Amino acid sequence: MPLSHYPDTQHRCQELRRIGEYGDEGVSANYLHEKFINECLSIGAGIGYNHHEKYKFSAIPIYLSTHYFFLDRKFSPFVNLRVGGFAMFNAKKVGTKEKYSLSKDKQSFSLLVSPSVGVKMHITPNIGIMASISDEAYLLNAFDTNKNDYKNKLIHDLGISVGVCFQIKGW
């Protein structure tokens, strides 16, 4: 039986373990609320907490998210794209002009882009488990050792995520 005939929204809580640049060793926790547009496509918004060990900062990302599920079945592969911004806090390695340090200047624009691929498996019609591999990219004003100055650059984190999703009819 197709699962799309059940609830029309999905909520997802996930924990993510990352290796960035590729080796940043960060952790994340996210909450996502999405609405199904049709049997395969959902769109929504999310918020989270991320900590980046090498760059010594934490962030609260707020993003738009979309999932495309290839099958309307109990088990389905999917692709996901998250795009948004973030608020940085608790930055410890600032203005030192060494590798992985951040600029003292306030960043004028924050950007998060994160494509991922994964699988979703329903345990019941309304509860499932999702696992994915993602590439989270954050735009930072970080020290560039080649130019010996601070430049805007994307830092990447390769992440493996496992989450629980709840589908609630009419929410």
pLDDT band at 116 (very low <50, low <70, confident <90, very high): very high
Q: Whole domain around residue 76: which residue ranges?
A: 3-96+109-136+156-167
Q: Residue 85 is part of a domain; what is its CATH number?
A: 2.40.160.20
The total of structural domains in the chain comes to 1
Domain contains 14:
yes
Residue 148 belongs to a domain? no
How do residues 75-88 score in pLDDT, each as one tens digit? 999 999 999 999 88
Most confident of 14-18, 39-43, 50-54, 142-146: 39-43
pTM: 0.81
In a domain, 120, yes or no: yes
Q: Are 22 and 38 in contact (CB under 8 A)?
A: no
**Cβ(129)–Cβ(163) under 8 Å?**
yes
- pLDDT tens string 17-40: 555 555 556 778 889 899 889 989
Calculate Rg over the CA atoms of the chain: 18
